Amino acid sequence: MNTPEEIVILAVNTLNARAKEIVAYEREHFSKFIGKDIFKNNCEIKEKYKHDRLRYRRVQLEGYGIDVTYIIEYKYQRLSVDITVCINGGSYNVKPNTAFTHYEKTNITLFNAIKNELVETEISLGYLDTVYDLNELKAQAFQLNELAREYNLQLDKFPSRFNYLFNVERLCS
For residue 68, the cross-strand partners are 56, 85
Residue 58 pLDDT level (bands cut at 50, 70, 90): confident
Q: What angle do CA 25, 28, 30 make, to 5 degrees?
A: 105
| Nearest to 89, CA basis, from 121, 67, 120, 115 | 67
Cβ(113)–Cβ(82) below 8 Å = no
Q: Give the span between the Cα atoms of 162 and 167, in whole angstroms.
A: 8
Q: 118 vs 61, which has greater pLDDT? A: 118
What are phi and psi for residue 132, nearest 5 degrees? -80, 145
Portion of the chain with pLDDT greater than 90, in percent: 67
Q: What is the DSSP annotation of 22-78?
A: HHHHHHHHHGGGTTSB-B-TTSPBPGGG--PPP-EEEEEETTEEEEEEEEEEEETTE
**171 pLDDT more than 90:** no
The mean pLDDT of 67-71, rounded to a whole number, is 95
Those residues whose C-beta lies under 8 Å from the C-beta of residue 20, and which sit 6 or more positions away, are 125, 128, 129
What does the pLDDT look like over 137-154, one tens digit per residue?
A: 999 999 999 998 999 889
